[in-house]
């Protein structure tokens, strides 16, 4: 290619790019975490259509995905997110506390504590469940190899850890017993990946471990990707409610003039269409009556703890368990 | 006699150099220092002497030293082969050497982990033959670090070998030296300074390596947890000051080690009369 033609192609590409940008009147940015990519791809299409019908305005929604902690830090450090849809309320609390971009009581602004959908922690085992894993105590048995990411670097892994802890406390009656139980469980972990997707790869592609502790939606996604014949989801009788909050970042939407759009974007998640999409993408909807019954069948009933009820909220759980010299560090004392 | 310069203008180029160094190197490094100053000396000391932090420093620096040493020997052999012997596909091999420079380190890490895990192509064989596991153990870290350090060694030794006059070897041989003596007394002293440079570069790169190590290390506290992972861990806890404190210690240690290596190099050059 000569310099002239390559310049022409470049200009043509730029023109297409510019016209695409000009096509939408306003754009909002949704900063989310890894496993919601497919959900929001679907959802954004529906929302853009809904907004066009309602107001006649063409809008665009950009998505940004990555590990929840990294995404949160990016927002604190200046990534201009109009809305965030993250894995832990603790992360959004940190945006409020460290960057003061939204009020402290953000969680009361939308129905169900700003949780349009939730999930839970389940087990993924290999075909036929050769180690016969049914409940949390099976994970601490000798000869069972457990895959889970490092709770110090992964928000999702903190749910895994707390779920095991809650089980231990309930079953063995005391905090000390729970700690012993969790310690035994983590002795069975041969690899601590730094994120949830890394652990899924370790379990599925490397074939390491007998059981993967994972989010329910991530487990279903793995079944969908790698074939249901290879793996099975085991739902323990008790687990933790994984609460995935959403909120508008006030300072950014006021600066960008996108508050109406951003608020409508999150409210639409609670609409029948939003709830249906959420269930289709393996999250448990806030109002199951709007979801497809076929999708709902996949979510078995189980006893669910919440972080608030069991651990007194994220701030306390974080401090007690995951900060330096917390219980997780104590487990690994040599 | 007025001196003429090839580069136009001493002042603009010096100005550019200073500006560049300030914007790209000095300001970010001082930011590291400033952020660390948020900590009291006691807090700083507590982080520095934390057992887990110490263990990770041991893992990082130990694995990097070992990997750089192995890379220095292997790199020398590779550079020697590439310079001295013609063979089919040599150009291709020469290009392959640089791959670790270009490849995203995470890709390298994932590939190495897949190969060296107990069921992987290479790992399976090593486990059977020697009964040792490479991936998810400290040995895995060393493998990843050799991979990323190797091109540094090859690319620093290669030009020196190319310039090295083989007449010197012939002279040594004609004076009655056997091949081993010729290597030890003639070739090695000439190569050593560049080999040490290659070693130092590979080492410096290894100490800070995150992407490729994280997938193969297993990341178990006290065993195979590297310093960069602890920095990420601190960041995940929103402990910016703690993270920069570890970063700062790392910076100082690396600088100190590079300084030692440079003085060593200077000393060897002087002894072998290359100054």
- Give contacts of A73 with chain B, Cβ < 8 Å: 235, 238
> Which of A152, A193, A194 lies at the smallest CB-CB distance from B237?
A152
Q: Is the pLDDT of residue B158 over 70?
A: yes
B111: containing domain: 36-271
Where residue A148 falls (left for φ over 0; alpha for ψ -120 to 50; beta otherwise) is beta
Does a structural domain hold residue B17?
no
Residue B245 lies in a domain: yes
| Residue B181 backbone phi and psi in degrees, to 5 | -65, -45
For residue B198, is it within any domain? yes
Are the Cβ atoms of A206 and B114 closer than 8 angstroms?
yes
End-to-end CA distance of chain A: give it in Å, rounded: 63
**Higher local confidence (pLDDT), B262 or A310:** A310
pLDDT value of position B269:
80
Mean pLDDT within B7-27: 86
Q: A 74-93 residues with CB below 8 A of B?
A: 76
Q: What is the pLDDT of residue B3?
A: 59
Identify from A192, A200, A202, A328 which residue to disrupt to test chain B contact, counting B C-beta atoms within 10 A and taking the largest count. A192
In this prediction, residues B155-183 reach a mean pLDDT of 86
Rounded to two decimals, the pTM is 0.83
Query: Quick check: A240 and A302 in contact, CB under 8 A?
Result: no
The answer to whether A165 faces chain B, any CB pair under 8 Å, is: no
For residue B225, what is the DSSP state?
A: -
Nearest CA in chain A to B232: A153
Q: What is the SS3 assignment for A241?
A: strand
The total number of structural domains in chain B stands at 1
What average pLDDT does range B111-119 have in this prediction? 90
Q: Is residue B16 in a domain?
A: no
Judge whether B12 lies within some domain: no
Is B5 within the bounds of a domain? no
The CATH number for B159's domain is 1.10.3720.10
Q: Count H helices, E strands: chain A? A: 16, 11
**Does any CB of chain B come closer than 8 Å to the CB of residue A71?**
no
**Predicted pLDDT of residue A14:** 53
Q: What is the mean pLDDT of residues B94-102?
A: 89
Which of B119, B219, B235 is opposite residue A150, by nearest beta carbon? B219
Q: Do A192 and B220 touch (CB under 8 A)?
A: yes
Would you say residue B10 lies in a domain? no
Q: What is the pLDDT of residue A5?
A: 54
Q: Residues 6 or more apart from A158 whose CB is under 8 A from it? A: A88, A151, A317, A318, A321, A322
pLDDT in tens for each of the 334 residues of chain A? Answer: 445 555 555 555 555 554 454 456 899 999 999 889 999 999 999 999 999 999 999 999 999 998 888 899 999 999 999 999 999 999 999 999 999 999 999 999 999 999 999 999 999 999 999 999 999 999 999 999 999 999 988 888 999 999 999 999 999 999 999 999 999 999 999 999 988 888 988 898 888 899 999 999 999 998 988 876 889 999 999 999 999 999 999 999 999 999 999 999 999 999 999 999 999 999 999 999 999 999 999 999 999 999 999 999 999 999 999 988 899 999 988 7
Give me the residues paired with residue A122 across strands. Answer: A214
- Chain A nearest-CA residue for B120: A206
- Check A322 against B237: CB less than 8 A apart: yes
The answer to whether the beta carbons of residues B235 and B96 sit under 8 Å apart is: no
Q: Quick check: A332 and B222 CB within 8 A?
A: yes
Interface test with B, best of A194, A198, A320, A326 (most B CBs within 10 A): A194
The structure tokens listed for A200 are: 């899924």
Cβ–Cβ gap B232/A194 under 8 Å: yes
Section B75-84 average pLDDT: 93
DSSP one-letter string for A164-207: HHHHHHHHH-SHHHHHHHHHHHHHT-S---SSHHHHHHHHHTS-
For residue A123, list its beta bridge partners.
Answer: A213, A234
Closest C-alpha among A9, A5, A74, A331 to residue A178: A331
Angstrom distance (rounded) from CA A34 to CA A215: 12
Q: Which residues does chain B have within 8 Å of residue A77's beta carbon, measured at their own beta carbons? A: none
pLDDT value at B263 more than 70 = yes
Q: Does B44 touch chain A (CB under 8 A)?
A: no
Instruction: Give the pLDDT of residue A1.
Output: 42
Q: Are A98 and B51 inside 8 Å of each other by CB?
A: no
Alpha-carbon distance of B257 to B25, in angstroms, equals 19
CB–CB contacts below 8 A, A to B: 61
pLDDT score at A80: 95
What is the predicted ipTM?
0.77
């Amino acid at each position: 290619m000569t310099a002239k033609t390559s310049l022409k192609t470049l200009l043509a590409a730029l023109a297409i790019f510019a016209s695409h940008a000009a096509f939408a009147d306003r754009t909002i940015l949704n900063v989310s975490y890894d496993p919601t990519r497919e959900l929001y791809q679907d959802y954004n299409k529906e929302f853009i259509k809904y907004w066009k019908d309602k107001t006649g305005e063409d809008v665009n929604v950009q998505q940004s995905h990555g590990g929840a902690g990294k995404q949160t830090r990016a927002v604190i450090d200046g990534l201009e997110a109009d809305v965030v849809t993250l894995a832990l309320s603790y992360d959004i609390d940190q945006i409020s506390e460290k960057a003061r971009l939204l009020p402290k009581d953000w969680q009361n602004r939308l129905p169900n504590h700003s949780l349009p959908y939730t999930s839970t922690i389940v087990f993924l085992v290999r075909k036929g469940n050769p180690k016969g894993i049914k409940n949390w105590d099976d994970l601490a048995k000798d000869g069972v190899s457990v895959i889970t990411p490092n709770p110090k670097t992964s928000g999702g892994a903190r749910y895994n850890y707390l779920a095991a802890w809650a089980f231990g406390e309930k079953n063995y009656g005391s905090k000390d017993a729970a700690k012993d139980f969790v310690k035994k469980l983590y002795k069975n972990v041969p690899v601590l990946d730094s994120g949830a997707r890394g652990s899924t790869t370790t379990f599925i592609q490397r074939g390491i471990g007998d059981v993967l502790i994972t989010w329910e939606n991530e487990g279903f996604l793995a079944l969908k990707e790698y074939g249901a014949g290879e793996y099975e989801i085991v739902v323990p009788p008790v687990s933790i409610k994984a609460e995935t909050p959403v909120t508008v970042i006030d300072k950014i939407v006021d600066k960008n003039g996108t508050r109406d759009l951003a608020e409508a974007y999150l409210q639409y998640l609670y609409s029948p269409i939003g709830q249906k999409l959420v269930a289709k993408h393996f999250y448990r909807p806030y109002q199951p009556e709007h979801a497809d019954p076929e999708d709902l069948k996949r979510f078995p009933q189980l006893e669910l703890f919440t972080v608030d009820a069991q651990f007194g909220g994220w701030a306390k759980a974080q401090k007690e368990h995951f900060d330096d010299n917390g219980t997780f560090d104590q487990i690994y004392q040599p | 006699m007025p001196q003429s310069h090839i580069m136009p203008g001493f002042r603009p180029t010096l100005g550019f150099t200073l500006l560049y160094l300030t914007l790209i190197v000095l300001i970010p490094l001082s930011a590291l220092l400033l952020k660390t100053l948020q900590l009291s000396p006691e807090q700083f000391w507590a982080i520095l002497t934390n057992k887990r932090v110490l263990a990770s420093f041991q893992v990082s620096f130990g694995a990097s030293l070992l990997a750089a040493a192995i890379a220095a020997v292997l790199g020398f052999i590779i550079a020697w082969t590439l310079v001295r012997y013609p063979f089919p596909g040599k150009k291709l091999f020469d290009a392959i050497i640089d791959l670790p420079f270009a490849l995203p380190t995470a890709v390298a890490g994932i590939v190495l982990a897949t190969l060296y895990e107990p069921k992987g192509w290479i790992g399976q064989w090593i486990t059977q033959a020697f009964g040792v596991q490479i991936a998810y153990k400290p040995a895995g870290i060393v493998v990843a670090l050799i991979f990323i350090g190797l091109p540094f060694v090859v690319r620093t030794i290669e030009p020196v070998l190319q310039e090295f006059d083989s007449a010197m070897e012939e002279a040594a041989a004609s004076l009655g030296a056997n091949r081993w003596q010729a290597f030890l007394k003639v070739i090695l002293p000439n190569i050593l300074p560049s080999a040490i440079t290659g070693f130092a570069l590979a080492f410096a790169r290894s100490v800070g390596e995150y992407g490729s190590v994280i997938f193969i290390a297993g990341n178990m506290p006290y065993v195979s947890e590297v310093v960069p992972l602890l920095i990420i861990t601190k960041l995940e806890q929103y402990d910016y000051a703690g993270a920069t404190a570890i970063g700062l210690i790392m910076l100082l240690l690396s600088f100190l080690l590079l300084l030692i290596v440079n003085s060593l190099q200077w000393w060897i050059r002087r002894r072998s009369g290359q100054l």
